[in-house]
Structure 1
């Protein structure tokens, strides 16, 4: 039986490091002559990925980020799932070597209070199942080449959230999509609160850009953080006692989910870090949504640099 060829596409920013990702790929239990890697430097990840797709010769296109660390049996796992599914993905797990603050970022991102169904992107949740864009993350995603050829590539006007638009399009075309909690990659979270705030702000900004490109009023949950920001601002001007009830409920939920995290992860110190991080996340995302309404990000059409790596 002829084994499928894998094309791994890794978009990187100028001066970014990717050696640890390459080392992890080199150590996989799969024939090296069946793997090709495209390291694509640029400033528009969607465009970079599309360039790689067009050059790829593999049956399966695997998308990783420059900090994605895969396990030795990773490729065999995705190939087994691709026998029945066109798109396969799983969570991006925080590295065990990350600091307690970085782990706290991961705990919050993997909580239902912060990300709802999208918690599946950041920790193992449930069993393998048919999935939507809410559960898959692009730094751990593989797609059959024929599926991309048939249904189109990434929208180069979007970043991040470009995989959400792509997977929504796939879903409308009855593409088979799978989330498997055992197909994991490992990566570090942002190093400090400033980086975390910028990350979440960018998610909100891009979500609004996606909405403006293809309006969809069936997912109002994405706009709840922006309403929360408005509510917090209104507290400055409007202060009857009953008006503080939503804030009290929010604080209660914040504490309940922080306790749940500390129990689930067996980290008592998480009770001290996660309550504030929930608030930071919701405000940052809500602010990003607002900025996305009025701000139009400059499109980056700079050329990309492509490096192909193969092993014998």
Structure 2
């Protein structure tokens, strides 16, 4: 992917005639829960937005192919389970009225109807210990502001199509973290990223501890692979892996002061668990939080090391994954169950 050239963009101030293409990737024959919510909640003029569903097994490629077929001026990416709120397109359009803004996104919030375990996951991700600099992806905090990739998440993220296409789209070698790599390139080109805490979607957390382990091994691996492609961004990315290495080496260390970092970590985890549960008035979540914090860090650390040392893109080959696109709604038309496939 070419990244050595600085792209030049020219924009006019956008008004309420801005057009959107909502893009939703899904596994083959997967259920798209986001569609029914869109039918119920979108109150944007019908002639100004369309919806593309991209079926396949490689989300970065699915999103890129859908973006190439999009007719809207703004690409709004959702996941198949992203539940939007009324007025979200109008809110995004107001941000894009500023010509310096290239990308707009908001948080992914845990529904109150989730199980105790899932709500505990939401608390952990929204905390300084669990989410760190990315915690605002999982909570509605503050006001709309300029931001970095740390606060933006692809299940609720809008790009100007011109910028997305000119910048080469998502790096298809990556999943997850494909948006983080692209957002870094957009920011380096001097274009604005904006986070709006009120531009939120609701998404359920993983339902089991095993699924949570897999999720954070995957997140870590994606960050490790991003580091291989784009270089080191921050030493913070390495901390979970260093914590894992420390625990593995701990039995070999003969002197008791070696336990001090582990004792400090345990105390911080206990305080974070109590504070997070108190903030949500969900004290029954404390035992789960005491399990989730170390699980999150160790799984992420393992995944990061794996992605850094054994990136999947170094082993990939063969033909690109098949993707099927269909327009569920086209610009200028009302909702329909099916429009002809775009590709």
Give your verdict on TM over 0.5.
Answer: yes
Query: SS of the counterpart of 2:219?
Result: helix
Structure 1: distance between partners of 2:95 and 2:311: 39
Partner of 2:22: 8
Once the two structures are TM-superposed, the CA of residue 152 in structure 1 deviates from its matched residue by 2.4
Divergent runs of 4+, >6 A: none
Is 1:213 equivalent to 2:229 in the alignment?
A: yes
2:227–2:308: 8 Å Cα contact kept in structure 1?
no
1:92–1:187: 8 Å Cα contact kept in structure 2?
yes
Structure 2: distance between partners of 1:293 and 1:114: 21
Range with greater deviation from structure 2 (287-296 or 90-99): 287-296
Once the two structures are TM-superposed, the CA of residue 117 in structure 1 deviates from its matched residue by 1.2
Task: Extract unaligned runs of 5+ from structure 2.
Answer: 1-14, 335-343
2:16–2:93: 8 Å Cα contact kept in structure 1?
no
Measured on the aligned residues, the alpha-carbon RMSD in Å equals 1.4
Partner of 1:234: 249
Partner of 2:115: 99
The alignment's TM-score, normalised by the length of structure 2, stands at 0.87
Number of aligned residue pairs: give it: 310
Once the two structures are TM-superposed, the CA of residue 75 in structure 1 deviates from its matched residue by 1.1
Range with greater deviation from structure 2 (1-10 or 109-118): 1-10
Once the two structures are TM-superposed, the CA of residue 169 in structure 1 deviates from its matched residue by 0.3
Query: SS of the counterpart of 1:70?
Result: coil
The alignment's TM-score, normalised by the length of structure 1, stands at 0.96
Partner of 2:95: 81
Once the two structures are TM-superposed, the CA of residue 31 in structure 1 deviates from its matched residue by 1.4
Partner of 2:138: 122
Residues 273-301 of structure 1 deviation map (CA, whole Å, 9 limit, x = unaligned): 10110010011001101212332325472
Is 1:57 equivalent to 2:71 in the alignment?
A: yes
Residues 151-203 of structure 1 deviation map (CA, whole Å, 9 limit, x = unaligned): 22110000000010000000011111100100000011101000001000001
Residues 40-73 of structure 1 deviation map (CA, whole Å, 9 limit, x = unaligned): 1111111110001100000111000000000111
Partner of 2:39: 26
2:224–2:307: 8 Å Cα contact kept in structure 1?
yes
Once the two structures are TM-superposed, the CA of residue 32 in structure 1 deviates from its matched residue by 2.0
Task: Extract unaligned runs of 5+ from structure 1.
Answer: none
Once the two structures are TM-superposed, the CA of residue 2 in structure 1 deviates from its matched residue by 6.1
Range with greater deviation from structure 2 (184-193 or 296-305): 296-305
2:146–2:192: 8 Å Cα contact kept in structure 1?
yes
Query: SS of the counterpart of 1:69?
Result: coil
Is 1:44 equivalent to 2:63 in the alignment?
A: no
Query: SS of the counterpart of 2:169?
Result: coil
